Amino acid sequence: MDSPLIVVNFKTYAQGTGEAAVGIATACRDVAEEAGVTIGVAPQLCDIYRVSSQVDVPVYAQHVDGVSPGSNTGHVMASCVQQAGAVGSLINHSERRLNLADIEASVRAARAEGLTTIVCTNNIPTTAAAAALDPEYVAVEPPELIGTGVPVSQADPDVVRGSVEAVKKINPDVQVLCGAGISRGEDLIAAMELGSVGVLLASGIVKAEDPRSALEDLVSQL
């Protein structure tokens, strides 16, 4: 089994904001080093620079807009995110949905800055549409399972299998992540057995009483 990509989304959890973001990112770096895997973090936009300048860990933005330099007040420009130290970005997370044209513009803008793109999707048809936009990754996450602790790999394995199949047909260069309810080592293994190359997860780590031991559990069966 290849080494997975694990991305921990800090959302807007208090436990992953400001200095606390640095603490969880440090735990991600340490556990990744010990286990020989890649663990990226997606803190809030305002914490990208703080985390990337203090911790040697791949940092992803939670969102980026398809805007160029100019008059775009309140938007998130890919070049700014890149200069803040991010290596990639989530796009179209189910808590930050975009329309198809906006997703395409965000992917294009991020790619132009050399950022790795992870387009989130909610089911097989949207996964297929996202794959056609040629991101590096799509991350399929059924919204009804997000934050429940019920792993997608167990509750809805067909959405992962079906996404992997759809992507293979449409754009085999794209790799599939899955997420929602993932927290344990067995969830990660099950996700990979379904054909995904890694997981996107949040509450199981960020809201855990001890994020470091939650991370150790996550990678324990690799």
**Residue positions in the annotated binding site?**
9-11, 146, 181, 202-203
Reference 195, options 166, 155, 216; nearest CA is 166
Q: Is 141 a catalytic residue?
A: yes
Residue type present at position 28? C
Contact segment (CB under 6 A) with ligand G3P among 27-35, 106-114, 140-148, 187-195 equals 140-148
Q: Check residue 202 for interaction with ligand G3P (CB under 6 A).
A: yes
Tell me, what amino acid is at 21? A
Interacting positions 13-32 with ligand G3P (CB under 6 A): none
User: At its nearest, how many Å lie between ligand G3P and the CB of residue 76?
Assistant: 17
75 is catalytic: no
Distance, in Å, from the CA atom of 95 to the CA atom of 60, rounded to the nearest integer, reads: 16
Considering only 91, 118, 177, 182, the residue that binds ligand G3P (CB under 6 A) is: 182
- From the candidates 75, 93, 136, 144, give the one annotated as an active-site residue: 93
Among 19, 141, 144, 193, the active-site one is 141
Q: Is 9 in the site for ligand G3P (CB under 6 A)?
A: yes
Q: Figure out which of the listed residues 57, 201, 208, 214 binds ligand G3P, where binding follows CB under 6 A.
A: 201
Contact partners, residue 158, CB within 8 Å, separation at least 6:
none
* Interaction between residue 81 and ligand G3P (CB under 6 A): no
Decide: is 141 part of the binding site for ligand G3P (CB under 6 A): yes
Within 10 angstroms of residue 173's Cβ, the number of other Cβ atoms is: 10
Between CA 10 and CA 203 the distance in angstroms is 8
Phi and psi angles of residue 110, each rounded to the nearest 5 degrees, phi first: -65, -45
Strand order through the sheet with 137-140: 38-42, 5-9, 198-201, 175-179, 137-140, 116-121, 88-91, 60-61
Catalytic residues: 93, 141
Which residues contribute to the site for ligand G3P (CB under 6 A)? 9, 93, 141, 146-147, 179-182, 200-204
